[in-house]
Structure 1
Amino acid sequence: MTDFARGERRQLADLLHHVGPELATVCAGWTTRDLAAHLVVRERRPDAMIGSVIPPLAGHGEHVRLAKLSQPYPELIRQLRTPPWWSPISNPLTDALTNTVEFFIHHEDVRRATPGYAPRDLHPDEQQAIWRTTRLTARLVLRKIGFPVLVEAAGFGTLRLGDGEPRATLTGDPGELALFVSGRQRVAEVDVTGDPAAVAKLTTAQIGM
């Protein structure tokens, strides 16, 4: 099976090296240096990432990330390219599951921060891998919307969330849907149709993990 997580990691590291440390990204308030530091901390400091699931500990994670910013930018990229074998999220058993979509999204965070970008033509197998994870993410984040939603990934499957007739439908490629449900609605090329109020809420809501 093609290792899409490694491919996205390599392409993101190459792009970060090319654009330098000060480029703004789709992640509000984060430059490419901030993004690189986040990714390095994510897989090398499990203690810092606990705050993403235990909010009272979020301050510790941000403290660790800010400390990591003091490292030279080339060193951050080197660490990003060479994850430790012991990382709970980047070892050979978990890498594909935990990193394929993570690195795809952050790759696009850099690409789509620059005007004139174009969506990549992803291999169908990578789209399928992204869709498997996006289905799970959509179940978690869209249930908070408060009304039934239909998610359609043309050629890959559909997902119906909530009881009753959907008030809104999201249609797009798996990669675009992954960006949408991660809270990047403004750069995701997804068609949102249905009840106008539901469409407005979906496109502006603070969603994502």
Structure 2
Amino acid sequence: MTWHEIERSALVSALTEVGPDAPTLCEGWRSRHLAAHVVLRETAPLVAAGIVVPPLAGRTERAIDDLASSATRADSYAQLVARIAAGAPRWNPMSWAAERANLLEFFVHTEDVRRGAGLDTPRVLDADHAEALWQHLVHSASRHYRRAPCGVVLVVPGGPRRAVRRTPRDGGTVVVRGEVGELALHAFGRGTAARVHVLGDPADVAALNRATGA
């Protein structure tokens, strides 16, 4: 299995374990809403585009709500989760670039489910798995931290470090230190759930926290 396939399996397992109405780290979403989001992202990308295109957000939210509303029973929810397990159809570009498109996405959404349901202990990742997450994270982190008003350096204890956002002329730099999975959660705006240490000038740290949901 590839790494994104491993994470897809982990997401399916987490969704199955918690059932349709478990809380998640995504504000306003139960587990069935998160499952609906993943299904629409892979099967109806134009409908799901509102996640990244603000003018389309209303249509996307309605589609997620409609699909989630159809999955309140155990059987209908199981069918929805089975669509995630089946993967994206071949016509979807995500099926061609699945590692790049899905590895971090599925890792973070698995933790959205686990930690939203109170399973706060981080998963133990083997070295190759962590390295795959790290490589994808450092290539995408500048986008995730684009609203940060300070420089950002990600550091894995005893491992690699990378400056992912350049320090502005009139700002400082903040160091975010933690295991790779926790750094991914922080970068994806799950700052309150990520087990990281954030170091820097208090004003810069506070500004970064606001930008990352901490």
Q: Which range moved further: 128-137 or 30-39? A: 128-137
C-alpha deviation, 1:191, in angstroms? 0.8
**In 2, Cα distance between equivalents of 1:160 and 1:38:** 28
Q: Secondary structure at the match of 2:93?
A: coil
Given that residues 149 and 167 in structure 1 are in contact (C-alpha distance below 8 angstroms), is that contact kept between their aligned partners in structure 2?
yes
User: Who is 2:77 aligned against?
Assistant: 73
Contact between 1:16 and 1:77, CA under 8 Å: does it hold in 2? yes
Using the alignment, how far apart are the partners of 1:13 and 1:146 within structure 2? 36
In structure 2, distance between residues paired with 1:148 and 1:189: 20
1:86 aligns with 2:86: no
The alpha carbon displacement at 1:206 in A equals: 4.6
Q: Structure 1 stretch 130-139 or stretch 19-28: which is displaced more?
A: 130-139
**CA 1:53/1:113 → structure 2, altered by over 3 Å: closer, same or farther?**
closer
* Structure 2 length-normalised TM: 0.87
Residue equivalent to 1:53: 52
1:202 counterpart letter in structure 2: L
Higher helix share: 2
Alignment RMSD: 1.9
Runs of 4+ in 1 over 4 A off after TM superposition: none
- Mean CA deviation greater in 123-132 or 198-207: 198-207
Structure 2 gap segments, 5+ residues each:
none
2:206 maps to 200
Length-normalised TM-score, structure 1: 0.89
Same amino acid, percent of matched pairs: 36
Equivalent in the alignment of 1:96: 99
What secondary structure sits across from 1:41 in the alignment? helix
| Helix, strand or coil at the partner of 1:169 | strand
Structure-1 residue corresponding to 2:166: 162
Distance 2:129 2:54 in 1: 32
Identify if the C-alpha distance between structure 1 residues 34 and 116 changes in structure 2 by more than 3 Å, giving closer, same or farther. closer
Per the alignment, in what secondary structure is the counterpart of residue 159 of structure 1? strand
The answer to whether 1:10 aligns with 2:9 is: yes
What CA distance in whole angstroms lies between the structure 1 residues aligned with 2:161 and 2:212? 25
Runs of 5+ consecutive residues of structure 1 not aligned to the other structure? none
Aligned residues: 204
Alignment partner of 1:174 out of 161, 180, 196:
180
The one-letter code of the counterpart of 2:37 is H
Aligned residue for 2:111?
Answer: 108
